[in-house]
Amino acid sequence: MTQPRSRAQELVGDITPKLAELTDDVLFGDVWARPELSRRDRSLITVAALIALGRPDQLRSHLGLALENGLTEAELAEVATHLAFYAGWPAGMSAATILKDVLASR
C-alpha cells in the first residue's frame, strides 16, 4: 500500500525532494513535535511570523493548520489586527484578506 504524500512532497517533492524530506522529518517531525510548546502555540507563533514577514503562500496553509490546532477565527483575526500596528498596515490587511479567503474555502 502506498503511503499518502505529505503537503511538502506535493508542493516541492518532485523538484527538491531533500527540502520536502527535511520539512517532513525535521520541521514537522521534530520541531513541531517538541513538548515545550503546544501545537496551538506553535501555530500562533508561526502565523504571526508569516504575517510580519509577508509570506502569503505559507500563511494560507498555516492559517488552516492553526484552525485545526485549536485557534479560533476570532483569535486569528485579532492576530492580523494586532500585527497591523507592529508589522505594518499592509501586512495586517493582507493577512485579513487571506484569512477571509481561507475561512470561505472551509
Q: Which three cell numbers stand for residue 42?
A: 506553535
Residues 6+ apart with CB under 8 A from 52: 83, 86, 87, 91
Rounded distance between C-alpha atoms, residue 17 and residue 40, angstroms: 28
Cα 94 to chain centroid distance, Å, stands at: 14
Encode pLDDT of 55-97 as tens digits. 999 999 999 999 999 999 999 999 999 999 999 999 999 999 9
Encode pLDDT of 19-65 as tens digits. 999 999 999 999 999 999 999 999 999 999 999 999 999 999 999 99
The predicted structure's pLDDT at residue 83:
98
Residues 6+ apart with CB under 8 A from 94: 51, 54, 56
Q: What domains are defined for the chain? A: 1-34 (no CATH), 38-105 (1.20.1290.10)
Rounded distance between C-alpha atoms, residue 90 and residue 68, angstroms: 26
Residues 6+ apart with CB under 8 A from 82: 92
The predicted structure's pLDDT at residue 63:
98
